[in-house]
Structure 1
Amino acid sequence: MNGLYDEILSALHGVWNRRWLALGVAWVVCLLGWLVVAMVPNTYESKARIFIQLDDALAEQIGIGVADRKRDIERIRQTLTSAVNLEKVVRSTRLGDSVNSPKEMEAAVLKLGKSIKMVSTEENIFEITAEAHESSLSEAQNAKLAQEIAQKMIDLFREENLSGGRGEVTETLTFVNGQLAQREKELEAAEQRRQVFEAKNPDMVAGGVGGVQRLEAARTELRGIDADLAGAQSALAAINGQLAGTPATLPGAPGTGGPKNALALAQTDLANMRARGLTDNHPDVINVKNQIAALRTAAQGDNGNLGGVPNPAYSSLQSIKADREASVQSLQARRTMTQTEVANLTSRQINDPEVAAEAQRIGRDYDVLRAQYDKLLQDREELRLRGEVKTEREAVKFEVVDPPTTPRAPIAPNRPVLLLGVLIVGLGAGVGAAFALGQLRGSFSTTTKLEKAIGLPVLGAISRTLTEAAQAARQRQLKLFFAGAGALGGVFVLLMAVEFIQRSMVA
């Protein structure tokens, strides 16, 4: 322990004896370090947050989904920091004041790209961060520049989101209109070719362009007639089955008076129906009238016996059967006529196959062009509607949650800490230089180190005696040393004061 204490005393004694060297080295290191720190420009940061609402019922109705709008926003976010947009920012801010050539503009755009960040912090919330650290500008100007850059990025985002999508729709509509005009010309040419063909082949018009269409329509109609005929025949078979199981007459009951009594009852039912407000066109009234007519005939030939009474259900089934038979006959007649038309059209094509083939080609080309034209026309209307929704309704709602902040203090570098660190390093360098020089010289600051070095006991040490003039000179040197050390500390305090004054000027 005593040895360590002696080493510390020896080191302190050696440094103190070379204190002027330590002070000089500290001054040089501190001045150089503070100069480097002063050359590092302060970086000011401005932040802004924007909110984007993706929900819109009308946009969903016309097919602009949330996923589509999210992709649009992500695309805008990625292209927002493109070279073209960053060049707009450079030209609209102080950054463009010192740009005089394309090379300088390229360097400014590259530097600005590293100073701008746009991240998604929450759902539908984007944060824009802009930094400014131009050495040619003052602290207040750098702070204002950071705010201007952030505001310009918001303006670009709004422009890309609103007018950018509108411009894209406009370009698409222009392209579709061009395609429509081209298809219209081709369609007119196909129509003209068809008219020329019909004029040259008047006898084959029925089997030509129109004939092909008529043949297909006739075949389609024939298939429909066959289906209807099968249904009508099935219904006729069903009514025949019901008619076979229904008796034509009903036996008269004893004591009922026979047909005359049944006639009276039917007339009573008819009177009751009319009393309820039923008209003569009502099915029940018509049915009862038919029964009355049948019963009146039976009653006229009635001799008092208990003969049979006509069955009204059987009469109704016969009427239905007659209607269905007429329907089957009508369908069969239509089927015969349609088959004849198909045969005639087919025979015309067989008699002149080349003209028929030419007619089919002309008709096919015309149909394809017509279908393409109609599809493009429909697509154009849908695009126009989407564009109007994006323009008028703004399917993506844009709102600035937090406007760009005006920075009050730089985010980097931490100049007070750097100034203090340079001071500590300078003092350490001065002490280290004095200590190293003391180790290189062959002097002994204590008797103990002398004993260890020569291996012999040291009997004593002679203290240094100074004259009054030497003591006065020594006092002056001490005052100068402490003044130099105090001046170093004063420079540090002055630099700290300048730093805080500059910050207060920004605020």
Structure 2
Amino acid sequence: MGGIYEELRAALHAVWIRRWIALGVAWALCLLGWLVVSQIPNQYESHARVFVQLRSVLPTGGQNQAEQAKDIDRIRQTLTSSVNLQKVVRGTDIGNSVANDRDMADRVGSLQKAIKITSTQDNLFEISATIANGGASDAANAKLARAVVQKLIDIFVEDNLANNRDGTSQSLQFLDQQLDQRQRQLQEAEAKRADFQAKFLGSLPGTGSLDERMATARSQIAQIDSDLAAAQSSLAAVNGQMVGTTATIAGPGGAPANAGPARARVAAIQGQLAEARGRGWTDNHPDVIALKNQLAIAQAAARNEPLVPGGGAGASQNPLYLSLKSMQADKAAQVAALQQRKSQITGDIATFEAKMNQQPGVASEQGAIERDYQVLKDQYAKLLTDREQVKLQSQVQTQTDAVKFSVIDPPTSPHKPTAPNRPLFLTAVLIAGIGGGIAVAFALGQIQPTYATAGRLGRASGMPVIGSIGEVVTAAQASLRAKRLRLFAGGVGALGAAWMLLVGLEFLQRGMVA
């Protein structure tokens, strides 16, 4: 512990005896450092906060809000583009110092570094600008920072409203042009499609491609064959019943007679049974069973019913025969119609197959025509939908403000520089200057060592020190030393006073800006 104390005393003694050198170095370093600090231009920052409110006007507002949010984000990202920053330069006092394109490029590059746009929340943006123009006064720089932020806010609003409406108008013009073009192409495709169908597909049933129509035609022939077989079977059944049925009914003794209501009912029920069998119903069919029961009851009633004599010669017509005759005509007409339809479709298929054999590329041509037509039709429908949506958005933008801007915090007028922290720098230079002076004095003491105590001298020489003689100071020497000490204290005090003066001037300058 004693050795450390002795070393400390020796170091302080080495610095003290070279105190004038230390003071001179401190003054030199402080003057140089303060000069450098004074050349650093003050930076004034102005900032503002803007709130963007998205209004949902249309029923599909979610999509509109998403598109509007993308537009706002795009404007935020492009707000610091060269074009917009040139507007800022021309709209503020920065433009007064622009003489050529090179000056404009320099000012734009400086603004790109000085402007910051951050999104603190989804719809809240903060715009800040830091101006440090060494050639202008502090008050002018503070005013310029606020003007830059205000100009950015104006561009932020103008770009969103103007660009959206201009973009919508351009979109409508583009969609109208595309719709006209697609309409002409669609009309040409429809005419080509109609010509092809009239040439190849006019006689074939169904819709769609060639394969689909051919399949439909063959399916219809199969159905006609089934219906024709059933109709022929019904006609054969009716013909069989007509063979065993007489055309007239004779009265008693060969005299003409009229059938009573019971016999007429029997004839009607027999006609219904014949019609049911003509349809292919079996004896187990519920309706056939019911008709047989009714027929048995009617026949029992007809046996006891006397014949009513007629007033003329000959026999009366059989109602059952007349009913079967009508059914025969109906079934025959049905069979003839089915045979005619089958012959027509079969002929159409044969004609079409002959055309296919003559022109093998008809199927591929029809497929290409249908694909082109469907593609053009879908494109036209989509363009028409998009045009209506854009038109509706244009009306909304014209009649209402879909996006509303609110300036939460207007651009601030800075009253003090944000950088540099000049009082801190001045203090740091003072401390560095004093430390540098002490360091130089200590280093010189190490280069040209002195021995403040007898023990230090003994250790350095390796020989014992017999004794030491104290310094005897006369009154004149004491007076001279006191005078030099006062001068040294005055130099140190002057250094501190210079620091205080510079700090005071800095605060006074800030007060003048405010």
Please state if 1:215 is matched with 2:214.
no
SS of 1:122's equivalent in the other structure is: coil
Give the equivalent residue in structure 2 for 1:151: 150
Closer, same or farther: CA 460–419 of 1 in aligned 2, 3 Å: same
Task: Name the amino acid aligned to 2:198.
Answer: G
1:424 deviates by 0.7
Closer, same or farther: CA 458–183 of 1 in aligned 2, 3 Å: same
Give the equivalent residue in structure 1 for 2:426: 419
Q: Residues of 1 paired with 2:356 and 2:15: CA distance?
A: 124
1:396-443: per-residue Cα shift (whole Å, max 9, x none)? Answer: 443222222222332222211111111011111112222222332243
1:136 deviates by 1.9
Please state if 1:87 is matched with 2:86.
yes
Does the CA-based 8 Å contact 1:143-1:406 persist in structure 2?
A: yes
Does the CA-based 8 Å contact 2:57-2:396 persist in structure 1?
A: no
Q: Residues of 2 paired with 1:479 and 1:103: CA distance?
A: 59
Does the CA-based 8 Å contact 1:44-1:131 persist in structure 2?
A: yes
Does the CA-based 8 Å contact 1:186-1:369 persist in structure 2?
A: no
Q: Residues of 2 paired with 1:36 and 1:56: CA distance?
A: 57
Task: Name the amino acid aligned to 2:470.
Answer: I
Give the equivalent residue in structure 1 for 2:38: 38
1:217 deviates by 9.5
Q: Residues of 2 paired with 1:337 and 1:395: CA distance?
A: 68
Q: Residues of 1 paired with 2:41 and 2:340: CA distance?
A: 97
Closer, same or farther: CA 27–346 of 1 in aligned 2, 3 Å: same
Give the equivalent residue in structure 1 for 2:447: 440
Q: Residues of 1 paired with 2:145 and 2:206: CA distance?
A: 77
479-488 vs 458-467, greater mean Cα deviation: 458-467
Please state if 1:60 is matched with 2:68.
no
1:436-473: per-residue Cα shift (whole Å, max 9, x none)? Answer: 223322433333333333322242323232353x5444
Task: Name the amino acid aligned to 2:77.
Answer: Q
Give the equivalent residue in structure 2 for 1:70: 69
Q: Residues of 2 paired with 1:422 and 1:51: CA distance?
A: 44
**TM-score, length-scaled by structure 2:** 0.65
Give the equivalent residue in structure 1 for 2:388: 381
Task: Name the amino acid aligned to 2:52.
Answer: I
Closer, same or farther: CA 66–373 of 1 in aligned 2, 3 Å: closer
Q: Residues of 1 paired with 2:391 and 2:43: CA distance?
A: 47
Does the CA-based 8 Å contact 1:218-1:338 persist in structure 2?
A: no
Q: Residues of 1 paired with 2:121 and 2:38: CA distance?
A: 39
1:208-263: per-residue Cα shift (whole Å, max 9, x none)? Answer: 4683598389634997997xx99xx9xxxx9999xx74657999xxxxxxxxxxxx
Task: Name the amino acid aligned to 2:37.
Answer: V
SS of 1:118's equivalent in the other structure is: strand
SS of 1:64's equivalent in the other structure is: helix
1:10-40: per-residue Cα shift (whole Å, max 9, x none)? Answer: 3333323222211111111001111111112
Q: How does 1:479-490 map to 2 (within 5 A)?
A: 479-490=486-497
Closer, same or farther: CA 187–248 of 1 in aligned 2, 3 Å: closer
Residues paired across the two proteins, number: 430
Closer, same or farther: CA 437–89 of 1 in aligned 2, 3 Å: same
Closer, same or farther: CA 463–171 of 1 in aligned 2, 3 Å: same
SS of 2:129's equivalent in the other structure is: strand
Q: Residues of 1 paired with 2:181 and 2:80: CA distance?
A: 39
1:361 deviates by 11
Q: Residues of 1 paired with 2:500 and 2:67: CA distance?
A: 59
Does the CA-based 8 Å contact 1:190-1:365 persist in structure 2?
A: no
Q: 2:471 aligns with which of 443, 463, 467?
A: 463
Please state if 1:398 is matched with 2:405.
yes
Q: Residues of 1 paired with 2:391 and 2:20: CA distance?
A: 85
SS of 1:489's equivalent in the other structure is: helix
Give the equivalent residue in structure 2 for 1:118: 117
Please state if 1:407 is matched with 2:406.
no
Closer, same or farther: CA 97–11 of 1 in aligned 2, 3 Å: same
Give the equivalent residue in structure 1 for 2:18: 18
Q: Residues of 2 paired with 1:362 and 1:443: CA distance?
A: 109
SS of 1:404's equivalent in the other structure is: coil
SS of 1:50's equivalent in the other structure is: strand
1:174 deviates by 2.9
Q: 1:429 aligns with which of 404, 414, 436?
A: 436
- RMSD across aligned C-alpha pairs, in angstroms? 5.2
Q: How does 1:71-470 map to 2 (within 5 A)?
A: 71-183=70-182, 208=195, 211=198, 215=202, 219-220=206-207, 245=286, 371=377, 376-454=383-461, 455-468=463-476, 470=477
Q: Residues of 2 paired with 1:250 and 1:398: CA distance?
A: 92
Closer, same or farther: CA 460–102 of 1 in aligned 2, 3 Å: same
Task: Name the amino acid aligned to 1:97.
Answer: N
Closer, same or farther: CA 362–216 of 1 in aligned 2, 3 Å: farther
Does the CA-based 8 Å contact 1:147-1:404 persist in structure 2?
A: yes
Q: Residues of 2 paired with 1:402 and 1:178: CA distance?
A: 45
Does the CA-based 8 Å contact 1:77-1:118 persist in structure 2?
A: yes
SS of 2:42's equivalent in the other structure is: coil
1:125 deviates by 2.1
Query: Computing the radius of gyration over CA atoms, which structure comes out larger, 1 or 2?
Result: 2
Does the CA-based 8 Å contact 2:168-2:394 persist in structure 1?
A: yes
Give the equivalent residue in structure 2 for 1:201: none
Q: Residues of 1 paired with 2:16 and 2:357: CA distance?
A: 129
1:57 deviates by 4.6
Does the CA-based 8 Å contact 1:190-1:362 persist in structure 2?
A: no
Closer, same or farther: CA 334–481 of 1 in aligned 2, 3 Å: farther
Unaligned runs of 5+ in 1: 195-206, 252-302, 304-324
1:238-293: per-residue Cα shift (whole Å, max 9, x none)? Answer: 9999xx74657999xxxxxxxxxxxxxxxxxxxxxxxxxxxxxxxxxxxxxxxxxx
**TM-score, length-scaled by structure 1:** 0.66
Task: Name the amino acid aligned to 1:169.
Answer: T
Unaligned runs of 5+ in 2: 228-275, 295-304, 306-330
Q: Residues of 2 paired with 1:131 and 1:333: CA distance?
A: 96
Q: Residues of 1 paired with 2:387 and 2:200: CA distance?
A: 29
Give the equivalent residue in structure 2 for 1:5: 5
